[in-house]
Amino acid sequence: MEHASQSRLQEQLREVTLSNCTLEAEIDQLKRGTQGLTRSEQHLQLMASHIDEAFWLVSPDERELYYVSPAYVAIVGHSCDSLYADPASWIESLHPDDRQTVLAEQGGRGAGPHRDSRDHEYRVVHEDGSVHHVWIRSVPVFSDDGSLVARAVVALDVTERKTAEDELRSAALHDKLTTLPNRALLTERLTDAIQRSKQEPGYKFAVLFLDFDRFKIINDSLGHEVGDLLLISIAQRLTANLRRNDRATRFQEGHLPARLGGDEFVIVLDGIRDLSDATAVAERLQVALSAPHAIGGHDVISTASIGIVTSAGEYDRAEDILRDADTAMYHAKNTGKARHVVFDERMHQDAVDQLNLEEELRRAVGKEQFRLDYQPIVELSTGRLTGFEALIRWEHPERGDVPPLEFIGLAEEIGLIVPMGTWVLAEAASQIKLWHDRYPQDPPLEMNINLSRRQLTHSDIVETVSRIIRDTGVDASTLKLEVTESTLMKSPERMTGLLEELKGLGVHLCMDDFGTGYSSLSCLHHFPIDVLKIDRTFILNTDENREYAAVIHAIITLAHTLKMSVVSEGVETGGQVAQLQALECDAAQGNYFAAAMTATAAEAYIQRPQGFAKSA
């Protein structure tokens, strides 16, 4: 609801409350005026003319109407005459659904006059058919000797307040954009469904959690207005497809999807027979949702990834079902999108493990639980050590060293990679500077440092690298920044600009894991790259597979044409070394020479005699 209309409603509510207070004062006045009541109609009418509100005065047994004000007659639309003739007939002006309740609240017609004040709220139906909400206060009127002589009833038409309250409630339970139920209403429904599944054996329900693939890209590229229209269109499609009378699953009419926020929607499938009913609906929705949406001259396509949970999991809380459905949806997204995945308990355990790891990782950054290991890189023509690749290790207090593949992805996902990567850069740069000072050689030792995608896209990497070069005093040309092929290929143009800027600082650049990122050789010349690192999977296969050798040969030849040098990763055998030498590969790195080692061990390695002839 718009802010303006919300505050208008609140204003109305305030007014009604204020007039409630006025009413209290008027009731007092009425009570005072009727002390020692005379049944003079004239006197009463005179008194009533001072009160604007609807009110009436009846005998204690409510059989005789002494007076009814024109304001009340206006609310119900009956003539005064009919009310005077039969005061009990007022009950007929009540909404049929409210009659019983009002009578019960009054303590029953036959219970005799009561001596206390009473408040009621009910609906009356005007002669013209309109329904009004009326609040009444009925107070006893006593004579000087304390006997009950009448009841004075004051009524207030609270229809506006009621409507305002209903509107506020509806606004609080519905999504403004799509008008679908929101999280609050969904939670109510889910809680009801959970209750019911506990009470009624055989009653089952399922929850479908939908998230739209590529929604963010659409929003970012076509604008938020198109994004909003897409969400409305999605809501309509979901609604249309769920409303369809589904005999197989006996869905209740009106079980609309809810929008949780963003591009997340949830559907509660009420009264399913088994899981296959839920997967059938998911499949049907996926088909319906995969057709393009015609929006603002675009054909917008956004498929849905769907997570499914059934009530078989014996849940107690709505939020737990939503959490598991979300987890299953996440799996659907991560395993190819535009599909559905049914939740199983292992996913929950994985998610918990992941969350624990995430917490530990956040703490680890503060506690400096990281270390860099260094793996030698060796020139293949001579066997000379040219430098190292810095590889991060997490020194976990209980689990020991955790390899980077187990936490780099997570660190990237939660943004921790940026501070972590900055630390790696600074640490590796000062380490190589130290080794330059201690072990000067010509050309000087180099340091390869891995950069992750997020470091390039979500931090001022150029500024960071430049500051570190300044602070450590390292020779920039000995730093080799490694960027994986897949990072480059995700946004080649943007990356090229960034790499050019980095090169402007004097550092060298490597394309890491070449051969795994689906770039074609023809793309290579677009990037300002100095070194190509051929991925380990190619090297592994060269021993037994001649085709791989041919591919490597092609890569090396092209790289050399483009003035790039080539390093082979993961070299493990003397046979591979010989083959790579024959293919004129420039350098290699792998367990054949040495695995990654601590800084102390690397320092000892530097001091070893260098070259193939001597070390063989």
User: From ligand C2E, Mg ion, none, which one binds at residue 591 (CB under 5 to 8 Å depending on kind)?
Assistant: ligand C2E
Q: For residues 336 and 328, what is the distance between their CA atoms, to the nearest angstrom?
A: 13
Q: Are 537 and 516 in contact (CB under 8 A)?
A: yes
> How many CB atoms are closer than 10 A to CB 474?
22
Half-sphere CA count of 186, side-chain side, radius 13 A: 25
Phi, psi of 57 (to 5 degrees): -130, 125
Residue 421 binds to ligand C2E (criterion: CB under 6 A): yes
Residue 416 binds to ligand C2E (criterion: CB under 6 A): no
Query: Contact with ligand C2E (CB under 6 A): which of 271, 383, 387, 570?
Result: 570
Query: Contact with ligand C2E (CB under 6 A): which of 305, 456, 590, 610?
Result: 590
Nearest-approach distance from CB 449 to ligand C2E, in angstroms: 7
Residues 432-451 that bind ligand C2E (CB under 6 A): 450-451
Q: Are 136 and 155 in contact (CB under 8 A)?
A: yes
Greatest Cα pair distance, the chain, in angstroms, is 130
Residue 466 binds to ligand C2E (criterion: CB under 6 A): no
User: From Mg ion, ligand C2E, none, which one binds at residue 25 (CB under 5 to 8 Å depending on kind)?
Assistant: none
Nearest-approach distance from CB 330 to ligand C2E, in angstroms: 23
Q: Which amino acid is at 482?
A: E
Phi, psi of 127 (to 5 degrees): -50, -35
Nearest-approach distance from CB 450 to ligand C2E, in angstroms: 4
61-69, 103-111, 161-169, 588-596 -> range binding ligand C2E (CB under 6 A): 588-596
Q: Which of residues 151 and 536 has its CB atom nearest to Mg ion in the complex? A: 536
Q: Which of residues 186 and 418 has its CB atom nearest to ligand C2E in the complex? A: 418
3-state class (DSSP) for residue 233: helix
39-47, 238-246, 304-312, 400-408 -> range binding ligand C2E (CB under 6 A): 400-408
Residue 537 binds to ligand C2E (criterion: CB under 6 A): no
Residue 452 binds to ligand C2E (criterion: CB under 6 A): yes
Query: Contact with ligand C2E (CB under 6 A): which of 53, 211, 324, 569?
Result: 569
Show the DSSP H helices in 250-344 as ranges.
Answer: 275-290, 318-334
Nearest-approach distance from CB 483 to ligand C2E, in angstroms: 9
Query: Contact with ligand C2E (CB under 6 A): which of 77, 313, 404, 444?
Result: 404
- Residue 289: is it exposed, middle or buried by C-beta count within 10 angstroms (0-12/13-18/19+)? buried
Residue 512 binds to Mg ion (criterion: CB under 5 A): yes
Nearest-approach distance from CB 555 to Mg ion, in angstroms: 14
Query: CA 305 → CA 71, 122, 268, distances in Å?
Result: 60, 48, 16
DSSP letter for each residue of 356-416: HHHHHHHHHHHHT-EEEEEEEEEETTT--EEEEEEEEEEEETTTEEEPGGGTHHHHHHTTT
Q: For residues 429 and 449, what is the distance between their CA atoms, to the nearest angstrom?
A: 9
The alpha carbon of 266 is separated from its chain's Cα centroid by a whole number of angstroms, namely 12
Across 236-357, the runs of DSSP E, i.e. the strands, are 258-261, 264-270, 293-295, 298-300, 304-310, 340-342
User: From ligand C2E, Mg ion, none, which one binds at residue 379 (CB under 5 to 8 Å depending on kind)?
Assistant: none
Q: Which of residues 98 and 512 has its CB atom nearest to Mg ion in the complex? A: 512
Q: Which of residues 260 and 461 has its CB atom nearest to ligand C2E in the complex? A: 461
Residue 446 binds to Mg ion (criterion: CB under 5 A): no
Q: Which of residues 142 and 514 has its CB atom nearest to ligand C2E in the complex? A: 514
Q: Are 338 and 213 in contact (CB under 8 A)?
A: yes
Q: Which amino acid is at 369?
A: Q
Query: Contact with ligand C2E (CB under 6 A): which of 72, 512, 532, 586?
Result: 512
User: From Mg ion, ligand C2E, none, which one binds at residue 305 (CB under 5 to 8 Å depending on kind)?
Assistant: none
Residue 450 binds to Mg ion (criterion: CB under 5 A): yes
Query: Contact with Mg ion (CB under 5 A): which of 53, 360, 482, 485?
Result: 482
Closest CA relative to residue 586, chosen from 615, 557, 607: 557
| Residues in touch with ligand C2E (CB under 6 A) | 375, 391-392, 403-405, 408, 421, 424, 450-452, 482, 512-513, 536, 569-572, 589-591, 596
| Residues in touch with Mg ion (CB under 5 A) | 450, 482, 512-513, 569
